[in-house]
Amino acid sequence: MQRHTFPLRGSTDAQALPGLISQTHRKIREASADGAYDTRYCHDVLLIRPLIPPRSGARYWPGKYHERNHAVANQHRSGSNEVWKRKWAITVIQ
């Protein structure tokens, strides 16, 4: 399922995420998005397993963000998100 929205001026794609989620009454089990959604806000709103590549130069987050921190570690080891994307079979259109 794909959903689209056009954020209002002065807001970001990440801030529009709750509106996208509210467009469906289905239970969302997994979500993939590009690095624009790599914010604590998005990870907290999703409350599921997010498949969001970390932004370039990302740092570890303390607390409950184990899967994201794993992706960040992968980025630091390989120098990019390519290994992580292949592992999760994600194609991010840039």
Instruction: Give per-residue pLDDT as tens, 7-63.
Output: 566 678 788 888 888 888 788 778 888 888 899 888 888 877 778 889 888 999 999
User: Is the pLDDT assigned to residue 94 strictly greater than 60?
Assistant: no
What's at 12, amino acid-wise?
A: T
State the pTM of this model.
0.61
CB of 41 within 8 A of CB of 35? no
Alpha carbon distance 56, 72 (integer Å): 9
Alpha carbon distance 81, 21 (integer Å): 25
Break the chain into its structural domains and give their ranges. Answer: 14-88
> What CA–CA distances, in Å, run from 34 to 25, 49, 53, 55, 63?
23, 14, 6, 9, 22
User: Is the pLDDT assigned to residue 93 strictly greater than 60?
Assistant: no
Q: What torsion, rounded to 10 degrees, do the Cα atoms 91, 10, 57, 4 define?
A: -10
User: 64 or 27: which carries more pLDDT confidence?
Assistant: 64
